[in-house]
Copies of this chain bind each other. A is one copy, B any other.
Amino acid sequence: MHRVLVIHGPNLNLLGKRETDIYGTLTLEEINTAVRAKGLEYGMQVETYQSNHEGDIVEKIHAAEGDAEVIIVNPGAFTHYSIAIRDAMASVQVPSIEVHLSNIYAREELRHKSVTAPAAVGQISGFGVGSYLAALTAADHILKLAKGTWRP
């Protein structure tokens, strides 16, 4: 089994209760359940983690070194200013995938800029829980490339 770590950033613990026009009505636990189930199909054991604390997310990323093979991270509001999380992503060997529930490019100006994305392999935004599911597909691709088992 591949080990995949999913990190949810600030305010995502309120999912399904807050601004449902933007973020949808699924709760975080429902998302986690869906992601874990889909992960199993890919042969991945998915650990999920949520924090509203920038420092805790930095340290969770540090701890992933040697523990997870891919990090899927939704930095939430931190996307737009946390260079600390960007540096954490860059300082571990584990590849990371940035995801967003909403299409950040279709929202307010201040959400268009991601300071964390340059440190990720890639970014997926706009598909709700589908962003996480697509991230699993991307993770599967990354893992196959790393093992040399991918074929066109």
Contact = CB atoms under 8 A, between A and B. Distances in A.
Given A77-B83, A77-B84, A62 B134 contact: no
Chain A, interface SS category? helix
A52 B87 CA distance: 11
A48 to B, nearest CB: 14
Q: For A10, A59, A88, which residue has the most chain B Cβ atoms within 10 angstroms? A: A10
Q: How many copies does the complex hold?
A: 12
Interface range, A side: 35 or more
Nearest to A101: B122
A6 interface: no
Query: Which 10 pairs from chain A and chain B are nearest by CB?
Result: A122-B126, A53-B55, A130-B141, A18-B91, A105-B117, A77-B83, A134-B134, A77-B84, A10-B84, A30-B152
